[in-house]
Structure 1
């Protein structure tokens, strides 16, 4: 596929906000695609180029447009953990239910990767589904335990998810709960958080 509006795509990839605005003013399509079906806004999100992203959002760029790997500008923020980019995209009203190639939403990779500030902002500033289950049968809470390192960042993410209403009782596809995974991995602090009384329940 021949890329459309290469000047806009290049400007977004490089994070040149002025060049992005110039290309848009000259009539470039904000939904142009490169050879991997990445839009300018996705390229800006991948590079954490907030100024370029803001210019594209102002021009009506779609935060949900997915490429050939099923990544979108919004989903990418969960991978990079960029709170600034997340907030730059919120005015575009991203679909919080858009799924990546693993069937996950933005909260899940962020929880796995230990992006504490991002998880906190996402939970506080959106109504994202804390108990969304991906194709692996994992929620954000399960992924934080199964793929996390048990350290301070993942402990804090577990706390944030529980405080936001995540259900520790939801098991994975094999019937194993987050608490059982934490105990198996020797994550004592996380196991304590998962087994602590909540809302008056034992």
Structure 2
């Protein structure tokens, strides 16, 4: 998509959209010298700028003046993507009510739901899903909204996405599940939510288990939860190393005792 060079009027319209100056937007559009969807060299339109900066009145004015609601920047991102990224609930609702496509992805495959989940914007995520967003739409690396919410420690989003039917074991291309990532990071609240949905506690396509991830980083509370859920401390990873072996290698006495005590119980 080749962009025409911006005119001085285009630049003024973009500035008014960024600043939330609805009067200037009206005046410039009424002059007839500038197009409502004029794009800068990145493909950004006035609507995208107003949405990204949280200017509700400007968004409404631009839509009334015929702005293309689904215009994409060169990166594939739309006005809805930016509203979702910033958590601008009211703007997201206005855009969806006016026909914004809920799932338009960026060039790396991140949907508005993905970015809302990544940034912890629960209400926006709920609104997107009730307007037809796909709960498991993947980024190019295979990460789903649930995967990214688990990595970022947004337990309330994780709980909601799971209730909405998100696949608990949605794999990233590297073979890691949301549970593996949450265990690796030590996100206890996320781990608790994921465990309610019976995630895979065995060997994953990445050659490890969730318990290996938790043990490697000495996340004791997570280890305890995994053991209670039925994870095996004697299950070897692809290199033949068990979680107990990992604990012994790191000379972590409390973790060794925790894992060994569970071994005797079983």
TM interval, shorter chain, is: 0.7 to 0.9
CA RMSD of aligned residues (A): 1.9
Structure number, greater radius of gyration: 2
- Verify the 8 A CA contact 1:170 1:177 in the aligned structure 2: yes
- For the pair 1:155 / 2:161, whether they are aligned, the reply is no
Instruction: Report runs of 4+ in structure 1 exceeding 4 Å deviation.
Output: none
- For the pair 1:142 / 2:142, whether they are aligned, the reply is no
Pairwise mapping of residues 99-138 of structure 1 onto structure 2 (< 5 A)? 99-124=105-130, 126-138=131-143
The aligned residue for residue 190 of structure 1 is: 190
Q: Give me the TM-score of the superposition, normalised by structure 2.
A: 0.67
Deviation string, structure 1 residues 65-102 (Cα, Å, up to 9, x no partner): 12233322111112111101102212331122311132
Q: How far apart are residue 197 of structure 1 and its match?
A: 4.5
The aligned residue for residue 55 of structure 2 is: 49
Query: Aligned match of 2:89 in 75, 83, 89?
Result: 83
CA–CA separation in structure 2 for the residues paired with 1:86 and 1:8: 22
Number of matched residues? 193
Which residues of structure 1 form unaligned runs of 5+? Answer: none
- For the pair 1:15 / 2:49, whether they are aligned, the reply is no
- Verify the 8 A CA contact 2:81 2:111 in the aligned structure 1: yes
Q: How far apart are residue 35 of structure 1 and its match?
A: 3.1
Q: Which structure has more RCO (C-alpha within 8 Å, separation ≥ 6)?
A: 1
Deviates more, 1:171-180 or 1:136-145: 171-180
Which residues of structure 2 form unaligned runs of 5+? Answer: 199-228, 230-266
